[in-house]
Structure 1
Amino acid sequence: MMVPVALLLLGLVIAVVGPRLLARTRWTEREPIVALWVWQCVVAAVLLCCALSMTLSASAAWQAVRGNVFAPAPATVVEAYALGTAGGWAATTAVVLALGGVWTAAMLSREVLRARLGRRRRRTELLVRAPLLPGEEPGTDRLVVLEGERPDAWWLPGTAPQLVITTAALRRLTKRQLDSVLAHEQGHAQARHDWLLHCSGALASGFPQVPMFAAFRDEMHRLIELAADDVASRRFGRLTTALALVELNEDRGVFGPCPVPHAHVPQRVHRLLEPESRLTPARRLGLTAAAALVPVVPLLVTFVPALRTLG
């Protein structure tokens, strides 16, 4: 009955080693989309380790669970897991991990609910500042222009997504820079980056004592912006995208010596103006495939006793 313990140890190793390896690599800024995929696979592997350990621990603690989990398996496979030798720790482990799963679902639900309420509030404020004309219906306009002294643009996700831009941004940006901003925000919407932020935020807020989840949240915020920058720069050029970022953010003090919110903007501008060469297609494919194999490791550990018996 060592498989649940092995899964927990494996999850701990992945949670500790994975973020450290990713922090030391330099290719993440060059390939943010691949980096997003790798981070998701690492986190998925940790969660899968916990889920599988919970299932096996519950099977060892309660005969009813064991009968359902191992119903189609031969008796020799059940004996290979030595479920009957587990002590009282099996029930405790299963309950603790189950509570963790419930807490994770609750945090994700809370994050999604907060996002929906926030979108609803912003849409209400948007209707106040930009009321509908006679004959217009809510959500029919994908582009909304607001009167504003500060240049700004943002994407409002939802069932009827809208891009909001201020008149100051229209005055300051050239047509090509404006198209670049639109492409950037559309890149967020098409890749559904808001769901990545919801999931990473839920894990980080639900388990603040786990450093990996905090790093996951921070990296999601950084990498999705780099990925959207790449979407815009491929269509309208890196210089145009960098100038649009400067025009939209220079009044916020992000280019000063003191750290302020959105302090990652100077790094994004520098990355666009002095780009490093991308990884070769073969290496990108290799990293993608290697990351996809990480969640497979917990499955292999789980099925080793069964495979040995059947083999």
Structure 2
Amino acid sequence: MTVPFVLLILGALAAAMAPRLLSRARWPEREPVLALWVWQCVVAAVLLCCVLAMALTASAAWSSVRGNVFAFAPHGVVAAYGLSEYGRWAGALAVMLALGGLWTAAMLTREVRGARSRRRRRHAELRARAPRLPDEAVPAGERLVVLEDTRTDAWWLSGAEPRLVITTAALRRLKGRRLDAVLAHEQGHVTARHDVLLHCAGALAGGFPQVPVFAAFRDQVHHLVELAADDTASRRFGRLTTALALVELNEERGVFGTAPAPLAALPGRVHRLLDPAPRLSVAARLRLTACALLVPAVPLLIAFSPGLGALTRT
């Protein structure tokens, strides 16, 4: 029973310690894309620990599961895990972990359905506010919708009919490269599929609010995807232009005074663009990428180590 215990302890330590370590680090603000990768690797490692522990305990409790999990493994490999010594409570632990997996799937399904419902509602509102004229021809691949509105705003509306929506107030206020920077920011979200990452983070945090790593993952993803999109725009149109575009797009909402929580990070984003910290060196980025890859690899090594040891002895 050593391997499942080690996996569960490792998963618990990663879920508790990773948010603290990453929140104290200063480099994620400088490398948001890399930070998103590290967070995904940490979450994947926690989930892997649970899945592998469930597979081993279920194999110990039920011979039919064991036959599927170790279908192509030699007899010596199965014996190396000592499944017969796990005890009667292995089945209870496997069922508990399986219920956690089903709950995760249910939360993800709920998140996807909720997102689809919100998209359909926003598409319907958009069609009502910006209807097509009779016999109006729609150019193939058209994605830009100009919406009559006194508020300056721009957003990407995903779905079966993706649309980049910008208000007439934003068009009047933003000119030239600043308008291009706002559009590039929204396009950066689309290219990187940030909506998928946000849905997964929201599902995990909603399903397991007591797990620190999932709640921190959701909060950090919301922040880091905006920084990554800012960097996408700034690489094309410059940091000053992107910062000024953010200011002009949002200053009427009062975000540079006492802003609501979703918009409170805007001043920090503008300051980051105007006074950027130097990026990490290429070597440092490669080291962090390699270390992030090792995080989900550790549970795999722990789970397969008895079997690998048995193969080397034969």
The TM-score, its normalising length taken from structure 1, stands at 0.97
Q: Which residue of 2 aligns with 1:192?
A: 193
Q: Which residue of 2 aligns with 1:177?
A: 178
Describe the shift of the 1:248–1:139 C-alpha distance in structure 2 as closer, same or farther (beyond 3 A): farther
Q: Which residue of 1 aligns with 2:157?
A: 156
> Aligned equivalents of 2:261 and 2:72: distance in 1?
58
> Aligned equivalents of 2:140 and 2:198: distance in 1?
23
> Aligned equivalents of 2:262 and 2:204: distance in 1?
22
SS of 1:159 mapped into structure 2: coil
Stretches of structure 1 that go unaligned for 5 or more consecutive residues are: none
The aligned amino acid for 1:278 is: R
Cα distance, 1:67 vs structure 2: 1.6
> Aligned equivalents of 1:72 and 1:259: distance in 2?
56
The aligned amino acid for 2:203 is: A
SS of 1:60 mapped into structure 2: helix
Q: Which residue of 2 aligns with 1:298?
A: 299
> Aligned equivalents of 2:228 and 2:279: distance in 1?
13
Describe the shift of the 1:70–1:5 C-alpha distance in structure 2 as closer, same or farther (beyond 3 A): same
SS of 1:145 mapped into structure 2: strand
SS of 2:132 mapped into structure 1: coil
> Aligned equivalents of 2:239 and 2:259: distance in 1?
26
SS of 1:284 mapped into structure 2: helix
The aligned amino acid for 2:239 is: R
* Conserved 8 A contact 1:229-1:241: yes
Q: Which residue of 1 aligns with 2:283?
A: 282
Cα distance, 1:225 vs structure 2: 0.1
The aligned amino acid for 1:119 is: R
Cα distance, 1:157 vs structure 2: 1.1
SS of 1:261 mapped into structure 2: helix
The TM-score, its normalising length taken from structure 2, stands at 0.96
> Aligned equivalents of 2:262 and 2:311: distance in 1?
57
Aligned pairs (5 A) from 1:1-311:
1-133=1-133, 134-137=135-138, 140-257=141-258, 260-311=261-312
Cα distance, 1:2 vs structure 2: 1.1
Cα distance, 1:259 vs structure 2: 5.1
> Aligned equivalents of 2:77 and 2:43: distance in 1?
29
> Aligned equivalents of 1:207 and 1:150: distance in 2?
37
* Conserved 8 A contact 1:152-1:169: yes
The aligned amino acid for 1:113 is: R
> Aligned equivalents of 2:287 and 2:259: distance in 1?
40
Cα distance, 1:138 vs structure 2: 10
Stretches of structure 2 that go unaligned for 5 or more consecutive residues are: none
* Conserved 8 A contact 1:203-1:213: yes
The aligned amino acid for 1:47 is: L
SS of 2:156 mapped into structure 1: strand
SS of 1:28 mapped into structure 2: helix
Cα distance, 1:217 vs structure 2: 0.2
Cα distance, 1:137 vs structure 2: 4.9
CA deviation vs aligned residue, 1:252-290 (integer Å, no higher than 9, x gap)? 121114654310101100100100000111111111111
The aligned amino acid for 2:292 is: A
> Aligned equivalents of 1:272 and 1:84: distance in 2?
60
> Aligned equivalents of 1:158 and 1:267: distance in 2?
30
Cα distance, 1:16 vs structure 2: 1.5
CA deviation vs aligned residue, 1:189-233 (integer Å, no higher than 9, x gap)? 000000000000000001111111110000000000000000000
The aligned amino acid for 1:50 is: C
Identity of aligned residues (%): 68
> Aligned equivalents of 1:102 and 1:139: distance in 2?
41
The aligned amino acid for 1:71 is: A
Cα distance, 1:175 vs structure 2: 1.3
> Aligned equivalents of 1:179 and 1:66: distance in 2?
57
* Conserved 8 A contact 1:233-1:240: yes
Give aligned pairs, total. Answer: 311
CA deviation vs aligned residue, 1:107-157 (integer Å, no higher than 9, x gap)? 111111111111111111101110112233599531101111110000011
> Aligned equivalents of 1:196 and 1:261: distance in 2?
18
Q: Which moved more, 1:196-205 or 1:72-81?
A: 72-81
The aligned amino acid for 1:273 is: L
* Conserved 8 A contact 1:152-1:166: yes
Cα distance, 1:24 vs structure 2: 1.1
> Aligned equivalents of 1:258 and 1:135: distance in 2?
41
